[in-house]
Amino acid sequence: MRMIQPDFRIVIDQEKCRKCGRCSFNCGFGALRFSDRVIPEPEKCAGCHRCVSFCPEQAITVELNPLAFRPNDNWTPGHIKAIYKQAETGGILLTGMGNDKPYLIINDHLLLDACQVTNPSIDPLREPMELRTYLGRRPEKLEFKKDAGKWKPAGPPPSTLKVELPILFAPMSYGSISYNAFQALCMAAKELDTLMYTGEGGLPKELYPYGGHIILQVASGRFGVHPESLNIGVGTQIKIGQGAKPGIGGHLPGEKIPSHISKTRMIPEGTDALSPAPHHDIYSIEDLRMLIYALKEATGYKPVCVKIAAVHNVAAIASGIFRAGADQVYLDGFRGGTGAAPFITRDHLGIPVELAVAVVDQRLREEGIRHLGTIVAAGSVRSAADAVKLIALGADAVAIGTAALVAMGCHLCQKCHTGNCSWGIATQKPELVRRLDPEWAAERLVNLVRGWEHEIKDVMGAMGINAIESLRGNRERLRGLGLDHETLKILGVKPAGAPMG
């Protein structure tokens, strides 16, 4: 007897199939057996479309298993299957990728402004548009002195990080993703002249040449953190929390720690890489300040970013983070992705990044400390439109994780935690990893971001804005459609139809 029925049904058109076996070879989950013909084992199918993509005859269809439970809006198939699984195992249910539940998506209820008649729009194809962004602390004041009849800055320039566009690559650890995927992100970050965060798994030595585009993460497990790795990047990031699993630590299972991961993380092969839930040297804002300055001392005062999950009290926490000396706060919304998280934390903890950005920006302005640092927003930036809206809500830049994976071939099958990724992205199995060509993946990442860059310039032009700086926190150019009064108030956005001023 089988209590849990497959999610998908694999249909092979036996007329078209020429029995080449490619589908069977390509499936990382072993859902297509081959013995003189293809025999589907749908209970193993993740719905990742690798077989479909590689079938030369287009003979494979993967469809939702139409097997129906009696319709019940309360007891959904998801609830029922979860109970079956837990009744069998007694375990915590794990999943990958971001929250997929039908919560309200605020970005889909925000509309951008455009110029008509009374103010001219700008054609980005003809006129320069400025997307260059400086990340980090702005000085309290600028001092100038007269030198040989000319006014010159009195002190050294502020130590900010320059990126050519406000799209960064989100931290996805080497370990949760493959070497080839990780390398592709490094290559794309360099090509685009932007930055990538490493995630908790450190930076493999062979990728040190990309250091000028790397921010190394220091998380509670401190994996791969030593003076050399800390100094190879342009800054460091303290990870406190992650949008998909606020308040809990990380757990890279021993199966995903072969020798090369073990080398970078500096832990024995095959042991679990456990990141404790808190940093045990951080129990307060004062303690956070201690780690921030310990990192600054160890890196010759390179900027420090603090990454937190967007949670209910995020504005006060972010204020504390800036006051503690951080140069960037990275807000990860509740839809942010993950290589592995319990369903319960992924689907039920945290708040949307749109709200987090709006309240943090507002709070920092009210306290007169917005200049102390940069807000980086992440947690499901699906398109250039999402990026523009988050910047208009107050973010300085956005970071993309899932979108980057999708560009590299990810089909959002949500099985990252199994380590069987057929696309060679979220796996450490050498035979799967080598499927992903870093050059090919890097090119696709660059294409994606270049496409978004053009789109951002297009809408900026439509709004008559020629520098992204003028869009930051410019909520007057946003309107809400179908959002309730309280939410609009928190966002600081007027309802659609409300006039300017």
Partner 1 sequence: MENIMEVGREVLIPRREEEKVIIDARDVHYRDLNGQIRELAQEGASRIELGNVNGQRYLGAGLTEKDLQISIHGTPGNDLAAFMDGPRIEVFGNAQDAVSNTMNSGKVIIHGHAGDVLGYGMRGGRLYVRGNVGYRVGIHMKAYQKQAPVIIAGGTAGDFFGEYMAGGILVLLGLERKPEEKIVGDWVGTGIHGGAIYLRGEVERHQLGKEVGIAEKIPDQEMKELTALLQDYCREFELDPEEISDKPFLKLYPFSARPYGKLYAY
Q: Binder to partner 1 among 63, 272, 366, 431 (CB under 8 A)?
A: 272
Token look-up 């699906």 returns: 382
Q: Tell me if 80 contacts partner 1 by CB under 8 A.
A: no
Rounded Cα distance between 63 and 47, Å, is 8
Which residue number, 220 or 487, has a Cβ lying nearer to partner 1?
A: 220
Site map for partner 1, 197-226, x if CB under 8 A?
---------------------x-xxx--xx
Rounded Cα distance between 277 and 212, Å, is 30
Report residue 499: phi and psi, to 5°. Answer: -75, 170
Site for partner 1 in 289-308 (CB under 8 A): 290-291, 293-295, 297-299
Q: Tell me if 344 contacts partner 1 by CB under 8 A.
A: no
**Element holding 315 (H helix, E strand):** helix 314-323
Here the contacts of 254-262 (C-beta below 8 Å, separation 24 or greater) are 255/419, 255/428, 256/175, 256/176, 256/419, 256/428, 257/175, 257/428, 258/428, 260/179, 260/204, 261/174, 261/175, 261/201, 261/428
Q: Tell me if 30 contacts partner 1 by CB under 8 A.
A: no
Site for partner 1 in 382-411 (CB under 8 A): none
CB of 415 to partner 1, least distance (A): 9
Rounded Cα distance between 344 and 166, Å, is 32
CB of 222 to partner 1, least distance (A): 3
Q: How many residues bind partner 1 (CB under 8 A)?
A: 44
Site for partner 1 in 82-101 (CB under 8 A): 85-86, 88-94
CB of 94 to partner 1, least distance (A): 5
Q: Binder to partner 1 among 231, 466, 470, 474 (CB under 8 A)?
A: 231
Q: Tell me if 462 contacts partner 1 by CB under 8 A.
A: no
Burial letters for 318-353: b for 16+ Cβ neighbours within 10 Å, e otherwise? bbbbbebbbbbbbbbbbbbbbbbbbeebbbebbbbb
Neighbours of 52 (CB within 10 A): 17
Q: Binder to partner 1 among 31, 62, 170, 267 (CB under 8 A)?
A: 267
Which residue number, 239 or 417, has a Cβ lying nearer to partner 1?
A: 417
Residue 95 structure tokens: 């999943």
Of 370, 308, 310, 420, residue with least CA distance to 29? 420
Q: Binder to partner 1 among 417, 435, 472, 477 (CB under 8 A)?
A: 417
Q: What is the CA radius of gyration of the chain?
A: 24
Q: Tell me if 155 contacts partner 1 by CB under 8 A.
A: no
CB of 251 to partner 1, least distance (A): 7
Of 274, 237, 264, residue with least CA distance to 175? 264
CB of 320 to partner 1, least distance (A): 18
Distances (CA, A) of 113 to 120, 208, 471: 13, 43, 11
Q: Tell me if 268 contacts partner 1 by CB under 8 A.
A: yes
Which residue number, 325 or 336, has a Cβ lying nearer to partner 1?
A: 325
Binding site for partner 1 (CB under 8 A): 85-86, 88-94, 218, 220-222, 225-228, 230-231, 251, 253-254, 262, 266-268, 270-272, 274, 276, 280-281, 290-291, 293-295, 297-299, 342, 417-418
